[in-house]
Amino acid sequence: MSQPTLSIIIPTLNEAEGITQLLRYIAEQVGEGVSYEVLLCDGGSQDDTVRLGRQLRARVVQAERPGRPHQLNLGAAHATGEILYFLHADTLPPPAFGRLICRYYARGYRSGCFRLQFDTRHWILDLSSWASRFNARNFQFGDQSLYIQKTLFQQLGCFNEQLLLMEDVEMVTRIKRRHHRFVLMPQRVVTSARKYLHHGVVRTELTHLAVLMLYLGGLRQTRLVRVYKRLLHSKRR
């Protein structure tokens, strides 16, 4: 029995600094015998992201409007694979990730994600990485990447493009609520801590926790964005 094709969908916006490394890593580490394609869903990059992506044989899809949910859905609409794998541009999946995904998929898990690890050591980041081992309904994030059967993704109605934040949490919550075969794989993705280092690790982590709690409490998206920006970008005293 042949393995299903994997469509790796990467939303991008001015990611020229790291996109070459990511695409080369994917080619080297997807796993022997895995059939795959890479789609860059670009949100209007002003740097060399698109050129570099095409140079490394990724399919580039230009989003008509900004917003990560729209970019992800656009990539899914253009994907030809049986399995969709959503991956952030600053995240490296584990070695042989394609084979791992196909292995769990063959066991009946139509969706799943990996555990998390940051590329920088800090006790708060280490704690966040440790917490990613728990398969709780509302605590899987886009940094952990996500695979899902394309037909299931379509049945669920794709990512909610009305959301300005937390589209990843909402999608995984929907999957778990309506489809129990979601696997949290023990291997880890390695994601960049660049945002934490830029804004401060403590400030960024507290902001993320506050926004998550407010989202789960039902705060409107427009207000959620204002809170996020105010907490993350307010001047330190």
Any idea where the domains of the chain sit in the sequence?
Answer: 6-192, 195-237
pLDDT at 99: 97
Q: pLDDT-derived band of residue 148, with 50, 70 and 90 as boundaries?
A: very high
Distance CA 119, CA 72 (A): 24
Alpha helices per DSSP H over the chain: 16-29, 49-55, 68-78, 97-106, 123-131, 150-156, 167-178, 194-199, 201-216, 221-233
* 215 close to 199: Cβ distance less than 8 angstroms: no
What totals of helices (H) and strands (E) does the chain contain, helices first?
10, 8
CATH architecture of 6-192: Alpha-Beta Complex (3.90)
Tell me whether residue 222 is exposed, middle or buried, using C-beta atoms within 10 angstroms of its C-beta: 0 to 12, 13 to 18, 19 or more.
exposed
Return phi, psi of residue 46, to 5°.
-105, 5
Q: What is the pLDDT of residues 53-92, one digit of tens each?
A: 999 999 999 998 889 999 999 999 999 999 999 999 999 9
Give 35's contacts (C-beta < 8 A, 6+ positions apart): 2, 3, 4, 5, 6, 81
* 218 close to 227: Cβ distance less than 8 angstroms: no
Distance CA 100, CA 95 (A): 9
* 116 close to 128: Cβ distance less than 8 angstroms: yes
Q: What is the pLDDT of residues 150-193, one digit of tens each?
A: 999 999 999 999 999 999 999 999 999 887 789 999 999 999 99
Q: Is the pLDDT of residue 137 over 80?
A: no
**With DSSP H G I counted as helix, E B as strand and the rest as coil, what are the percentages for the chain, rounded to 5?**
45, 20, 35
pLDDT at 235: 62
Return phi, psi of residue 50, to 5°.
-65, -45
